[in-house]
Structure 1
Amino acid sequence: MAGSISFLGSYSGIDTATIDSLIEAESGKLVQYTNKQTDITAEKNAWKDINTRLDSLFTKLGTLEEDKTFQSKTTTSSDATKVAITAGTNAAASNYSIEVTQLATATQATSGIIDSAIGKTIKDSLGLSGNFTILNHEKNGPEVDGSFKIDVLIEDSLNDIVGKINEKSKESGIEAKIVDNRIIMTDSKMGARTMTFGGTLTAGGSTSSMIEELGFGTTSNQKVGQSAELAVDGITMTRDTNSITDAVDGLTIELKGLTEASKPVVVGIKEDTDTTIKAFQSFVDQYNSTMTFVSDQLDVGDPSADKNKTGALAGDSSLMRLQSSLRSLMTQSVDSGNPSYNNLGSIGISVDRFGAATLDSTKLKTALADDPTAVKKMLFQTTSTDTPSIDEYGVTTTVTTEKEVGMAQKMRSLIDTYISDKSGIIATKSATYDKLSEDISKSITKFNERLEKKRENYVAMFTRLDTAMMEAESQLAYLQSQFSTTD
C-alpha cells in the first residue's frame, strides 16, 4: 500500500512550522497552568521544611522538661581503677570517702581433666553415657530433688555437654565454659554460695567406672565466692556484688580494686550545669533557625524592583500567625513562684527587635544556682482549677480542670497545631496542595489534548487548501492549453 502524500505547504506556503507558531500562540494558558503548578510545589516544599524545623524545635523544648537536663550530675574519682561511680538525677552533690578491703567474687567449680577428651577437639565425641545433676545455692530446680539434670549421650562432645548446661543457666543461675579440656561452672551471683553435684558421671555417682569422669562432686574442686567488703565515710558494709546501688541514694558504686590501707578513694558528685546550658542553647539555636526560615518564606522583597523575588509563602496568613505567636511566647511572663524568674529574659534568653534570640549563659547559670525549681516552673507548669457543677439530679460536684501554663508547654502546644500528622495545619495544607496539583495536572492534560486536536484540524484544513490550490492550478493549466490549441 502506497504511503499517503502530504501537500502541506506546497502551494499555500503554510507548513508545519507555521502551524507550530499558531499552536504556540494559543498555548498561553498552558504556561499559566505550569507556573501555577510550580508555585504550588514551591509552597508545599516550603511548608515541608517548616514542619521539619518545627518538629526539631518541639523536641528540643521537650528536652528542657527532662529531669536529666536540670538534675544531671558530673562525677569524679581520685582513682577510677579502684572505685568508679555513676550518679542518678536524685543523687545529692557531695564527696564520699570509700575504702575497699575485699572484692566480691562468684563461686566456681572446676572439673578434672576429662580423660576421654585428651587428644580430641572439644567437638569430638567423648564416648560417655550417663548423667549428672547440679543443685544451685537456692536448692531450687525443676528436676531431680530440686536439681538440674544433664543427660550425656555417647555421641556428645565436650562442647555439647557445656551447651546443655548453658541451656538451663537461665533457671539454674550457673554458666559453663571449657578451659584446657576442663569444664568450669560459674555461679551468676556473687558471694559465699555453693553448688552440689551428683549423678553417674560425677564423684558419688552410681556407676563406678565413670565415677570421677567429670570430677565434680567434692568441695576440693570448688572455689567458693566471697562478698565485697567496703567502708563509705567510715561505715563498713558487705555486699554480694561489686556494683553497689543501695549504699548511697542515687549513686552506683563500682568496685574495681582494693584500696591501700588508710588511703581511701575520694569520689565527688557535682551539679552538671553544662548539660543544662547546652540544652537551652540548642533550643535558642533551633528557634532562630526556624524563625529565619519563616521570615525568608514571608519576604515580599522590593515590590518596586524589576523581577522582584518573593518568598514562597509571602502573604500566607497561617505562617504569619505562627511567626507572631512564637515571638510573643518568647517574651511572655509566667508565675513561677519567684518574681525574679518569670520570663525567659530573667534567665538570660533575650530577643532583639528583629526576633533573634540570644543566650547569656552566665545569667542562666546564676538563675539555676539560685532557684532551679522556679526556672523549670516558668517553662513547665500545670495549674488546676476546681469548678462547682450541679448534675441532673441537683447534686453538686466539683470538676477539676488542668491547664498547662508554662512557656515551653504553650510553645509546644502551638507547634503541635501545625505539625500534628492528622489534624495539623501543615498536613491539611499539604493535602490541599496535592489536590490542587492533581486538578492542574488534569487541566494540563485536557488542554494538551485540545491543542493536539487543534493541530490535527490545522493540518487537515491547510492540507485541503493545498490540495484545492493544486487542483485549481491544474485546471488553469488545462484551460490555457485549450486556448493555445484554438489559436
Structure 2
Amino acid sequence: MASSISFLGSYSGIDSATIDSMIQAESGKLVQYTNKQTSITAEKNAWKDINTRLDSLFTKLGALGEAKTFLSKIATTSDATKVAITANTDAVASNYAVEVEQLATSTQVTSNIIDSAIGKTSKDKLGLNGTFTILNHEKTSPEVDGKPTTGGFEIKILKEDSLKDIVGKINEVSKETGIEAKIVDNRIIMTDSKMGARTMTFGGKLTDDKGIVIDDSNMAEALGFGISPDQVIEGKSAILTVDGIEVERDTNTITDAVEGLTIDLKGVTEASKPVTIGIKEDTDTTVKAFKDFVDQYNSTLTFIGDQLDVGDPSVESNTTGALVGDSSLMRLQSSLRSLITGAANTGNASYKNLESIGISVDRYGAATLDTEKLKTALADDSTAVKKMLFQTTTTETAGEDEKGEPTTITTEKEIGIAQKMRALVDTYISEKTGIIATKSETYDKSLKDLSNSITKFNERLVKKRENYVAMFTRLDTAMMEAESQLAYLQSQFSTTK
C-alpha cells in the first residue's frame, strides 16, 4: 500500500507551522478559561485553609468552657515513695496529713511440692487425669449480695498435661475466678487479684483412663494443695489515717476517702511522721487555655486579612489576596473583631469584657494577653470570668400548645462571649449548612463547568485545525494541478510553432 503524500505548503506556502499560529491566535478564550480555573481553585483552597483555622478557633473557644480549664488542681506530696496523689476537678484546695499504717495485700496460697512433678521439669507430663475445682472468695461465702452461691470453677486436667499446661488452664479462667497462678520451684502459687482478707479453696477429682472417679481421690491434694495453714498468706486491708480519721480499704488506690482525690499508697509511714499532701488551684492550665485562644484568634484574623489584602494597586505587578472583595469573608472579619471587644453581664461590674481580664485588642485587630491581669481576675472572681465566656439565660413567655391550650414557652439563649463567637464560627464551618461548605459546592460546580468548556473548546480547535489542513491541502493540490495544466499547454504551444 502506497503511503499518502502531503502537499501542504508546497505551493501555497501555508504549512503546519502557519496553521499552528492561526490556531494559537484563536486560543484566547482557552486562556480565559484556564485563568478562571486557576482563580477559582485559589479561592477554594483559601476557604479550605480558613475552615481549618476556624475549626481550631472553635475548639479553643470550647476549651474555655471545660470544667478542667477553671477547676483543674495541682496535687503535691511531701513523700511520693509513701503516698502519691491525684486530684480531679471536684477536689477542694486544701492540705491533708496522711499516715499509712498498713498496705493492702492479696491472699496467696502456695502448693507443696507436687509428687508427680518430682524429678521433672515444668514441661514434662504429670500423668494426672480428672478435674480441678477453684472456689474463690465469692464462691466459698454462703451468699453474695443476698443470693446463695453455687459451685466453683472447674478445669479439666489431662494425663498429657504438664505443670505449665495446668497453670495455663488456670490462668485462662482467671478473669472469671479472679485468681492467677504461677510456677516457682515446681510449686503452684495462687494469688487473688483482689486485696483484703479473702479466701480461696480448691478441690476436684482424679479419674482413671475410662473417666471413672477414683474413690477418695482429690485433685487439689495431687497438685499440692493440702491445705495446711503455712501454705496460706492471708490478704490484708490497707489502714491509714487522713487528718486523724482512720480509713480502711481493700485496695492501695483509694478514691472515696476524700472527694476529688485519688490516694495511691506506696509504703508504710513512720509513726507520727505523716505525709503532707497539698491541693491548690492550677491557674497555669487556665492561662494556657486563654493563651491558646488568643494565639488562634490572631492566626485566624491574620490569615483572613491576607486573603482580603488588595496590595498596592499603583504597582504594575501588584499581588492581591485570593478572596479580595468577598463579602462573606469581610463579614466574618468584622464580626469576630466586634465580638472579641463585646461585653457580657457577669454580675460583677469589674469584669464585663475581655479587656477587664487581660485581653486587649489594638487598632489593627490583634489581641494581646496580659497573664498577670488574668491571674488577678481569676483569683478575685473566677465565676464572673467564666460567666463572661459561657452564660445561658432562660426566659418564659405565655403561649399555646398544639391544641390551643395556654402554656408556658421556655426559651434559652447563650449570651457568653465565647458562646457567641462559637455560634458565628459554626455558621461558617458547619459540614452541611455552613457558608464554607456551600461555597465549596459552588466552586466545585464552576470548576466542573469550566473543565467541560475547556474540553469542548479544545475539541473545536482540533476540528478547526483538521479543517485548515484539509482546506489548504486542497489548495496546494489545486495549485499543483493548475501548474501541471499550464505546463502542458505551454508545451503544446511550443510544438505548433
SS at match of 2:312: coil
Shift of 1:235: 1.6
For structure 2, the 5+ residue unaligned runs are 142-146, 207-213
- Confirm whether residue 149 of structure 1 aligns to residue 154 of structure 2: yes
Alignment partner of 2:281 out of 271, 281, 304: 271
Change (3 A) 1:210 1:385: closer
- Within 2, Cα distance between the matches of 1:311 and 1:131? 80
SS at match of 2:280: strand
Match of residue 223 from structure 1? 233
Match of residue 29 from structure 2? 29
Identity %: 77
- Confirm whether residue 182 of structure 1 aligns to residue 187 of structure 2: yes
- Within 2, Cα distance between the matches of 1:341 and 1:211? 74
Match of residue 169 from structure 1? 174
Matches within 5 A, 1:207-286: 207-208=216-217, 212-218=221-227, 219-286=229-296
- Within 2, Cα distance between the matches of 1:224 and 1:91? 35
- For the 8 Å contact 1:243–1:255, the answer to whether it is kept is yes
Match of residue 209 from structure 2? none
- Within 2, Cα distance between the matches of 1:209 and 1:340? 81
Shift of 1:392: 6.4
- Within 1, Cα distance between the matches of 2:402 and 2:102? 72
Shift of 1:181: 2.2
- For the 8 Å contact 1:46–1:297, the answer to whether it is kept is yes
- Confirm whether residue 311 of structure 1 aligns to residue 316 of structure 2: no
Which is worse superposed, 105-114 or 446-455?
Answer: 105-114
Q: Which amino acid aligns with 1:83?
A: V
- Within 2, Cα distance between the matches of 1:266 and 1:49? 51
Which is worse superposed, 141-150 or 350-359?
Answer: 141-150
- Confirm whether residue 291 of structure 1 aligns to residue 296 of structure 2: no
Match of residue 371 from structure 2? 361
For structure 1, the 5+ residue unaligned runs are none
Match of residue 48 from structure 1? 48
- Confirm whether residue 388 of structure 1 aligns to residue 383 of structure 2: no
Shift of 1:144: 9.8
- Within 1, Cα distance between the matches of 2:449 and 2:191? 72
- For the 8 Å contact 1:199–1:206, the answer to whether it is kept is no
- For the 8 Å contact 1:133–1:144, the answer to whether it is kept is no
- Within 1, Cα distance between the matches of 2:430 and 2:119? 69
Change (3 A) 1:373 1:230: same
Shift of 1:120: 4.5
CA distances 1:274-332 after superposition (whole Å, capped 9, x unpaired) = 01111110010011111100000111112222122111111111111111111111011
Change (3 A) 1:343 1:148: same
Which is worse superposed, 170-179 or 444-453?
Answer: 170-179
Instruction: Report the number of matched residues.
Output: 484
Matches within 5 A, 1:328-339: 328-339=338-349
Match of residue 116 from structure 2? 116
Which is worse superposed, 157-166 or 1-10?
Answer: 157-166
- Within 1, Cα distance between the matches of 2:219 and 2:281? 63
- Within 1, Cα distance between the matches of 2:437 and 2:140? 59
Question: Aligned-residue CA RMSD in angstroms?
Answer: 1.9
- For the 8 Å contact 2:238–2:251, the answer to whether it is kept is yes
- For the 8 Å contact 1:198–1:217, the answer to whether it is kept is no
Which is worse superposed, 106-115 or 118-127?
Answer: 118-127
Which is worse superposed, 108-117 or 93-102?
Answer: 108-117
Match of residue 355 from structure 2? 345
Match of residue 197 from structure 2? 192
Shift of 1:143: 12
Match of residue 471 from structure 1? 481
- Confirm whether residue 82 of structure 1 aligns to residue 48 of structure 2: no
- For the 8 Å contact 2:398–2:406, the answer to whether it is kept is yes
Change (3 A) 1:120 1:2: farther
Match of residue 15 from structure 2? 15
Match of residue 165 from structure 2? 160
- For the 8 Å contact 2:132–2:220, the answer to whether it is kept is no
- Within 1, Cα distance between the matches of 2:150 and 2:104? 30
- For the 8 Å contact 2:203–2:218, the answer to whether it is kept is no
SS at match of 2:348: coil
Shift of 1:211: 6.7
Shift of 1:140: 6.1
Change (3 A) 1:118 1:437: farther
- Within 1, Cα distance between the matches of 2:349 and 2:181? 64
- Within 1, Cα distance between the matches of 2:22 and 2:121? 90
Which is worse superposed, 111-120 or 287-296?
Answer: 111-120
Match of residue 101 from structure 2? 101
Which is worse superposed, 60-69 or 146-155?
Answer: 146-155
CA distances 1:433-459 after superposition (whole Å, capped 9, x unpaired) = 010000000000110011011000100
- Within 2, Cα distance between the matches of 1:126 and 1:473? 115
Q: Which amino acid aligns with 2:292?
A: S
SS at match of 1:76: strand
Match of residue 144 from structure 2? none
- Within 1, Cα distance between the matches of 2:297 and 2:149? 67
Change (3 A) 1:210 1:165: closer
Alignment partner of 2:388 out of 371, 378, 381: 378
SS at match of 1:79: coil
Q: TM-score scaled by structure 2? A: 0.94
Which is worse superposed, 60-69 or 14-23?
Answer: 60-69
Q: Which amino acid aligns with 1:178?
A: I
Which is worse superposed, 162-171 or 442-451?
Answer: 162-171
